[in-house]
Structure 1
Amino acid sequence: MKLNTKRTILIGFAFMSICAFWQFYDNEIPKILKYSFGLGETLTGVVMALDNVLALFLLPLFGTLSDGTDTKYGKRMPYIVVGTIVSTILLTILITVARPSGYIALFVGVLLLLLISMGIYRSPAVSLMPDLTPAPQRSTANAIINLMGTIGGIYILVMIKVLLKEAENPAQTNYIPLMLSLVLFMLVSVLVVFLTIKENKIKEEIHKEGGLHSLGDTFDNDAKEDKTDNTERFEEGTVTKMMPKEVKRSLWFLLVSVFLWFTAYNAVTTAFSRFVGEVWDLHDNAYATCLLVATVAATLSYIPIAYVSRKIGRKKTILIGISLMAASYVITGLYPHFSASINIFFALVGIGWAAINVNSYPMVVEMSKAGEIGKFTGTYYTFSMAAQVFTPIFSGFLLEHISYRTLFPYAFIFSALAFCTMLMVKHGDVKPPKKGKIIDNFDVDD
């Protein structure tokens, strides 16, 4: 059973469009709030946190709704197409009407609707990959999807550099060319997915080839004891089966791990720009080099890490990734001033983060049934988004009231906790293929 690379790349166009939008949102919306509407840093931070807060509710909701959808276009495609069209319309209104109006209430109102429309198709778009990829190949597929997302982010960064010409008065900067390039990119990307990915037909092909091989599809509803039955496969449309307690326990430990490592990583990425100024007296945006090194290292690591995961397993790869990040946090925090050698440890952070990202989401959906992938996808994002709501507040309190030097110890502690909880995860891994056969490793300790 080999990965259909071409199909995975085509599926990745949906995620690429999403990442392009969020790259624009994270980089330019704060500037618009500050320079066009005069909002202070605190209020800007509140508005920018709306997407994470909404995601806590929207992603599980639309993930679950898409699980129960049945159309001739598939279960995910209607949400992807409708969400994209509505989002591009609202984005156009945001830039061409709400921003020039000068009314902050109108701008925030349209922005709120835009974030809701993005929430409509985020979980369904991400769920499309595990829907159409057999479980043993999902880490490799997820690496490809992440690469596609990176391409979307890079596209918008290039467009910002080429199309966004700042005026002497930043409030008068013309965002329309950049907005049009983003709208066109999102529409074309999703059109590619719509024209090339026929959900129902592909699912039939996978079913004929033996099914998705997910752990969740082996749950026996009639079993009175916690067990898995690897002799019979269940696909969508069958009766709902209960998740065994041991599998549920692994799932919860994995989700807690997701919360903990996002808490650590996002504390560093959001506060590092201030840390370098306060602790190392480093200015002129020099901090960006370290974050760029981490991003490039992660991007270059996706495919090699997928290969390593097939050889040693997802859990071990994640534990190695957490260890790399935790060690790098400790060493970086010991530097009394900036040195170019710090980039080495940020590269290790990027590699560690890639090791986690490539494998953690596939492990979550591994424990789901084929008919509940959207629900589990939404749950995964709930825990990651909860961390991104929590960590700027908690770590910011420590930075403000204790010391900026608490940043890296903070990241290390939460990484260490993630390592401990990840050790308790006993399901969701897959053994490498032997003699041309896929062997499902539902209990990694067996």
Structure 2
Amino acid sequence: MSQNNEKISKIDKRSPWQRSPTFRFKTVAIISLGFFASSAAWSLYNASVSDAFEELLKIVFPIGYLTIVGIIMTLDNIVGVIIQPIMGGLSDRTKSRFGRRMPYIMIFLPLSAITFMIIPFVEKNFRDLLITIMIFNIFMACWRSQTVALMPDFVAPKDRSKGNGIVNFLGGLGSIFAFAIGGFLITSENTVPGFLVVGLIMLIALVILVIGIREPDTRNWDFTSEITKEKIGIIQSLKQIKKEKEKSIIFMLLAIYSWFVAYAGLESLWTVYATDPFIFGMDRGDATQLLTFVALPFMIFAIPSGYLAKKIKRKNTIMLGLIIGIIDIIIANGIKSLDNLSSFYLIFPTFGLGWAFININSITMVWEMAPDQKHIGTYTGLYYFASFLANITGPIILGFFTDFMVGLENMFLVCAVWLILAFIFMIFVKKGEAELSEEEIKAKQQAIQNLSQD
């Protein structure tokens, strides 16, 4: 018995970053390929699947078919809210020779890619298409949290904003890649080549991930204490954080929900706003294209925002981003003439900059609020619960206010209110900055002792 206890005590349960705290760009770049694959798939999915459903439904429902399409296109967020926190919690306690996260990626990423490549072959049949995208949504939700949680497993807390900037940069690159592939290979008559290419890219990303990332073998790790202390699931996770004396995580999740309500609502209703004959009367294609002036700056400033957070702290960087966003949105609300439309070529890029400051650093703050390294997957799930809930309710909330209270012409004003709410919630966030590791604390204490001796 003593020999067994001695063997167990020698098991190294440290995370990869604790074993090698040096920031490794190559490792983070390889991990980011998972996010690249996910972003490419979702970008092409959102751009093409809605059109397929529109063609199928407008014949049966001449009036109201766009509402039905909108409901169908929120299914991925609903599935994500339910499944991702559960899968994140499961991965925190997974025993395998491949580690805690990689088994889920190795199983569900290829299943997602295969299902994704089936979509264009069933897009002419409503039932088959609906079943296929539901299966795809479920498969994608089963590995998203694990992909995101890989980065903090391999990167020390002080470097996570920088690492998350790299992850989001490649994610943005994945979206641009998907739009380029879609524009080049997809036509109204044939969508198969675009889906096949993105599906194959997902599989290639998986191969590189499996070859390049080596998680610790967790087969002998003891998760009994974690399993007995708490159940896996979003309700249990929310109950747990509610019991905590320090409420930073609650205010952080409220802030995340608030700014995603503003962003999701703006993203969904911008085209309606811009094409309204009483506002700008723009062509739908031109209105959609204008949103790239938000996406490109976000990608460009994804990495710099992580470095900025290291200099001025994550909370300050996020609040700076919110201030930029609030000012931009309020200015945008005052522009109602097509003659002044060129102002958006400055407003949207600036907003993209502010959005990078917000989005890049928010999840790293949530990771730092996790009670220990083993719960990062669970807290990743909580982050996506708040963001997905906002993506589901944001368009509905914004639509309600513009329909029944302030009018479409004041859509930007509603978005500004939600960003202001997020700013207020962030004031009450007291945790989430990078903390020194035990090795760094000891080194700092030793340096102080050496100075006192001198």
Match of 1:353 in 2: 355
Of 364, 383, 400 in structure 2, the residue corresponding to residue 380 of structure 1 is: 383
CA distance in 1, matches of 2:344, 2:23: 37
Please state if 1:139 is matched with 2:137. no
CA distance in 1, matches of 2:37, 2:360: 19
Match of 2:205 in 1: 189
Cα offset, 1:24, TM superposition: 1.1
Of 95, 99, 116 in structure 1, the residue corresponding to residue 138 of structure 2 is: 116
Q: What secondary structure does 1:199 align onto? A: coil
CA distance in 2, matches of 1:76, 1:19: 19
Cα offset, 1:281, TM superposition: 2.1
CA distance in 1, matches of 2:431, 2:358: 16
- Number of aligned positions between the proteins: 396
Of 405, 428, 432 in structure 1, the residue corresponding to residue 432 of structure 2 is: 428
Q: Residues 346-367 of structure 1, C-alpha deviation per residue, up to 9 Å, x if partnerless?
A: 1121011100111100000111
**2:241–2:249 Cα contact (<8 Å) kept:** no
CA distance in 1, matches of 2:246, 2:137: 31
Q: What secondary structure does 1:341 align onto? A: helix
Match of 1:398 in 2: 401
Of 257, 264, 267 in structure 2, the residue corresponding to residue 266 of structure 1 is: 264
**2:85–2:145 Cα contact (<8 Å) kept:** yes
AA at the equivalent of 2:263? Y
Cα offset, 1:266, TM superposition: 1.4
Q: What secondary structure does 1:287 align onto? A: helix
Q: Aligned residues: percent identity? A: 28
CA distance in 2, matches of 1:243, 1:287: 42
Q: What are the within-5 Å matches in structure 2 for residues 74-93 of structure 1?
A: 74-93=99-118
Match of 1:297 in 2: 297
TM-score normalised to structure 2 length: 0.82
CA gap 1:332/1:67 in 2 versus in 1, 3 angstroms:
same
Match of 1:210 in 2: none
AA at the equivalent of 2:352? G
Of 30, 39, 55 in structure 2, the residue corresponding to residue 35 of structure 1 is: 55
Cα offset, 1:406, TM superposition: 2.6
Q: Residues 295-323 of structure 1, C-alpha deviation per residue, up to 9 Å, x if partnerless?
A: 11111111221111111100000000000
Q: Residues 269-328 of structure 1, C-alpha deviation per residue, up to 9 Å, x if partnerless?
A: 111111112222222532234311111111111122111111110000000000000111
**1:247–1:427 Cα contact (<8 Å) kept:** no
Q: Over aligned residue pairs, what C-alpha RMSD do you find? A: 2.3
Q: What secondary structure does 2:123 align onto? A: helix
Please state if 1:161 is matched with 2:183. yes
Q: What are the within-5 Å matches in structure 2 for residues 25-424 of structure 1?
A: 25-36=45-56, 38=58, 40-96=65-121, 98-100=122-124, 102=125, 104-166=126-188, 173-200=189-216, 239-240=225-226, 248-278=246-276, 279-338=279-338, 339=340, 340-368=342-370, 369-402=372-405, 403-424=407-428
Unaligned runs of 5+ in 2: 1-20, 230-239, 445-454
Cα offset, 1:56, TM superposition: 1.0
> Whose helix proportion is higher, 1 or 2?
2
Cα offset, 1:137, TM superposition: 0.6
CA distance in 2, matches of 1:81, 1:142: 22
CA distance in 2, matches of 1:12, 1:82: 18
CA distance in 2, matches of 1:430, 1:392: 34
Q: Residues 228-264 of structure 1, C-alpha deviation per residue, up to 9 Å, x if partnerless?
A: xxxxxxx985955998976740000000000000011
**2:99–2:215 Cα contact (<8 Å) kept:** yes
